[in-house]
Chains A and B, each alone.
Chain A
Amino acid sequence: MAKESLTCELAVVGGGPAGLAVAIEAAKRGVKVGLFDENQKPGGQLFKQIHKFFGSKEHQAGVRGHDIGYHLLNECQRVGVDTRLNTVVWGIEDNRIGIIDGKASRIVDAKRVIIATGASENPLSFPGWTLPGVMGAGAAQTMMNVDRVLPGTKVLMVGSGNVGLIVAYQLLLAGAEVVAVVEALPQIGGYIVHAAKLRRADVPILTSTSILEARGKEAVEEATVCSLDDNLCPVEGCERTLKVDLVCLAVGLSPLAELCWMAGCKFTYLPELGGFVPLHDENMKTTLPFLYVAGDVAGVEEASSAIEEGKLAGVAVAEELGYLKKDTAEEEKDRIRKRLSSLRLGPFGDMRAQAKLELMRTRG
């Protein structure tokens, strides 16, 4: 079974924006880093995000997600991170993780472990939701922007948060028709700039409306939507049927925290951050002394905040392992924390900032 074990000072699980940022920050200070990702290519979900990012210049605002991805990959190579792709991390016990690369399973012994496994899309159940042609909005985004294949030609988008709005617009760019975006709440969930792009293209955004059913013989052929009353219940007589071959679900994401559960760190439940999230302190350390988290697994936000959290953890680990003096590390961490708080402004950001504070308070 297990071949000889590997050792490294920091094992990073997940090569998305957070994991890459941790690896870069730690490795450039001398930490021996091993990065493990189950995919063929690193970058996580960055390469499907072809829109320009928000924030200020230091958050690379105005740069498209895939360009940020290339930049991180180059940096990773430059600072000498031992990156192992096609490698599944199947378990964790104390400061050791189990990996499978190819067909061989082995143990990695690390001084510190950081889980940066991201999040997964939430499903939404309604009659017909399992039919082929009903998929996550992120799934459609991967297919059109990474694989360059259109998963459908006439689309109903369920959910008007930023993911729903951005993916609906990208479906238009890719050549699909977006028949409607429906939103159960009385107002649009995401940023108005994204909604405006859809409205300029004449895509209806129907608020107080949701999907009742998707129908089709072996795949989606039509979907029924209906107006909702103040209690979010369907209003009889207000159903209408749309001819669509793709229903995209953009109804939130949940942290992919299985390894954190397995490691045994403490959790709390915060709906603003996507549900159950591992407790962490202001250095991104969990309730276990060797275990850190960064990015969506530590509370669902955006790629830019995942990168900053990764940097924070990277600096903290470098300090703990003796590669950074306390003063230098504190200065560096302060700068990163300031950038993080500036990303958590506005009504959505503020909600998350409060939730993050509560999470850190709970950890104590």
Chain B
Amino acid sequence: MSSQKNLRILDHPILGKLEARKQIHIYADGQKIPAYEEEPIAAALTAAGIKVFRFTSTRDEPRGIFCAIGRCTDCVMTVNGQPNVRTCVTPVEEGMKIETQKGLGKWQKKV
């Protein structure tokens, strides 16, 4: 995790200041991190300095964001017990539990 620098782009020379959004919290492998309503899970994780989203099934290799538009499925994680959720196109929700996925993941009991 490398976040001595704020990775949120608060002010932008063309897009201007970041609009005020409602802050919520999500849990990444149990760690509570801030997120903003309507942003994709992948954005909140990136802002928190998290880059590894899952490990592959055969060779246990790390994977993260590749296309960021919901095509490649490299960024899938287990979200609220459901595996293989595309985090780059799935918006955050208050209290969401995000877990680094191993292989194809496992369905967990519904809360």
Contact = CB atoms under 8 A, between A and B. Distances in A.
Interface of A: 38-40, 45, 50, 64, 120-121, 123, 130-136, 138-140, 142-145, 147-151, 153, 173-175, 218-219, 245, 256
Nearest to A51: B14
A214 to B, nearest CB: 12
B69 interface: yes
Contact of A218 (B10, B52, B68): B52
B65 A139 contact: yes
A131 B62 contact: yes
A38 B65 contact: no
A150 B61 CA distance: 24
B64 interface: yes
Given A64-B14, A133-B51, A138-B69, A149 B64 contact: no
B89 A120 contact: no
Contacts of A139: 65-69, 88
Given A39-B89, A130-B63, A143-B65, A151 B46 contact: yes
Interface in B1-39: 2, 5, 7-10, 12-15, 18, 39
Contacts of A134: 66
A50 B71 CA distance: 22
8 contacts: A50-B15, A131-B62, A132-B62, A138-B69, A143-B43, A149-B46, A150-B5, A256-B71
A174 B13 CA distance: 8
B40 interface: yes
Nearest to B48: A149
Nearest to A219: B51
Contacts of A245: 2
Contacts of B64: 131-133, 135, 219
B81 interface: no
B103 interface: no
B45 to A, nearest CB: 9
Contact of A173 (B13, B63, B72): B13
Contacts of A136: 66-68
A151 B74 CA distance: 15
Contact of A149 (B8, B13, B69, B91): B8
Contacts of B9: 144, 148-150, 174-175
Contact of B62 (A143, A148, A173, A218): A218
Given A39-B89, A149-B8, A149-B43, A120 B67 contact: yes
